[in-house]
Amino acid sequence: MNIAIIGTGYVGLVTGTCFAEIGHHVICVDNDPEKVRTLQSGGIPIYEPGLEELVPRNVAAGRLRFTGSVAEGVEHADVIFIAVPTPPLPDGSVDLSFIEGVAREIAACLTSYKIVVDKSTVPVKTGEKVAETIRRYNRAKVEFDVVSNPEFLREGSAVEDFMHPDRIVIGVSSPRPVPRMREIYAPIDAPVLVTDINSAELIKHAANSFLALKISYINAISVICEASGADVQEVANGIGLDKRIGRRFLDAGLGFGGSCFPKDLSAFIKIAEQLGYDFGLLKQVQLINAQQMDRFLRKITDTLWVLKDKRIGVLGLAFKQNTDDVRLSPAIEVCQRLLREGARLRVYDPRAMEKAKAVLPPGPTVEYVPERDAVAEGCDALVIATEWPEFKQLDLERARRTMTHPILFDGRNLFDPREMERLGWVYKSVGR
């Protein structure tokens, strides 16, 4: 099948590359000439495990190419996927101007029947608007169908998630595009759920909000664990073994961040409000997430007292493991709040240091340390802010020797409290 992907961010690039990998002919379109040039010359603008192998392989096989021209993409494709950003507006609703712009551009280029698929995360009823827009700007009155096909890719394991999804959701307003959509995904072994467009759009917001709710739930439990002397990890294991609940997304810590959960929650609350429902449950999810961060910082100030001129080593800048993405990263927020209190930071992340420099500029109070095990040198305390598995291999002995006091605030519960105590650390984690 000939496919165009409009928008070559995390979702678009992974989706386009994976479609090529399963045998389709794909053009990825982006309006950022710099990004297109990078991709055309063999570079990959983001870090996502697997892409560095899949992109060149599919380019070489002639199944994947990049362009700045929507017209070229539309001309090439039977099916056009929209994967452009849907950033939040100050009131929590979603800025749909990129989607609308692309819908108009596609409409202007239509010369034969196409399927236009929305992959970007959008509020319910957006598909209806996209169809309306294409109808309005499609002067040649060419036939088309609009489909909603939400993505469920996690950054850091997006290629794996694409190849082995839990489900594929296809939202349509008529049966016409269904066979082609099924054909596109035929090489992928997963249940296919065909719904109406509004339900498909809701599935995405409802799924992400539920996962965020699960995290806030365990974070709320972590507060009760701390107050009662219980261990949140034991509790998570205990409730997670119930198959109706499941253990995943029950890791207490600094809370969730990233480009999806915070934005999708606000957007879902907003669209619910517009539809006449006050989604108080999800407002609590947001509140618990914010309080979790406050509580962690309070732990640091309670222990270190005055932060001014204290040297603090921070391990982790990305919003989660296996990514270089720092958008709404809880780790960056920790750093910014420590800086506001006058602390001096030594920071390290295995992948996200370059991107972090834009939001956390290096200078007299922020030193980027190229080596993980050197971060602790001369520090009054160490903070773990991202759940990178490799932080578990931290050279604790070296860190302890080179710090003024061996204090570790573990915002991601990577170490065993008893073992840390045995090794002579003052160790504070979350909910244990």
In angstroms and rounded to an integer, the radius of gyration of the C-alpha atoms of the chain is 23
Smallest gap, in angstroms, from Cβ of residue 199 to ligand UDX? 17
What is the C-alpha to C-alpha distance for residues 292 and 412, in angstroms, rounded to an integer?
12
Q: At a CB cut-off of 8 Å and minimum separation 6, what does 371 contact?
A: 348
Task: Give the neighbor-by-neighbor strand order of the sheet with 381-384.
Answer: 366-368, 344-348, 311-315, 381-384, 407-410, 426-428
**Residue 251 binds to ligand UDX (criterion: CB under 6 A):** yes
Q: Which amino acid is at 406?
A: P
**Residue 431 binds to ligand UDX (criterion: CB under 6 A):** no
**Residue 268 binds to ligand UDX (criterion: CB under 6 A):** no
- Count of CB atoms within 10 A of residue 189's CB? 9
Site residues (CB under 6 A) for ligand UDX, limited to 140-159: 151-155
Kindly tell me which residue out of 116, 250, 381, 384 binds ligand UDX, with binding defined by CB under 6 A.
250
**Residue 215 binds to ligand UDX (criterion: CB under 6 A):** yes
**Residue 211 binds to ligand UDX (criterion: CB under 6 A):** yes
260 noted as active-site residue = yes
| Cβ atoms of 81 and 17 closer than 8 Å | no
**Residue 260 binds to ligand UDX (criterion: CB under 6 A):** yes
Smallest gap, in angstroms, from Cβ of residue 207 to ligand UDX? 7
Stretch that binds ligand UDX, among 63-71, 250-258, 350-358, 393-401 (CB under 6 A): 250-258
What is the C-alpha to C-alpha distance for residues 215 and 213, in angstroms, rounded to an integer?
5
Find how far residue 303's CA is from the centre of its chain.
32
- Count of CB atoms within 10 A of residue 266's CB? 19
Kindly tell me which residue out of 319, 348, 415, 425 binds ligand UDX, with binding defined by CB under 6 A.
319
**Residue 293 binds to ligand UDX (criterion: CB under 6 A):** no
Stretch that binds ligand UDX, among 105-113, 135-143, 207-215, 220-228 (CB under 6 A): 207-215
* Tokens representing residue 146 in the block: 């609009």
Q: Furthest-apart CA pair in the chain: how many Å?
A: 75
Smallest gap, in angstroms, from Cβ of residue 8 to ligand UDX? 17
> Which of 109, 260, 335, 379 is flagged as catalytic?
260
Instruction: List residues with catalytic annotation.
Output: 260
Residues that bind ligand UDX (CB under 6 A): 151-155, 208, 211, 215, 249-251, 253, 255-258, 260-261, 319-320, 387
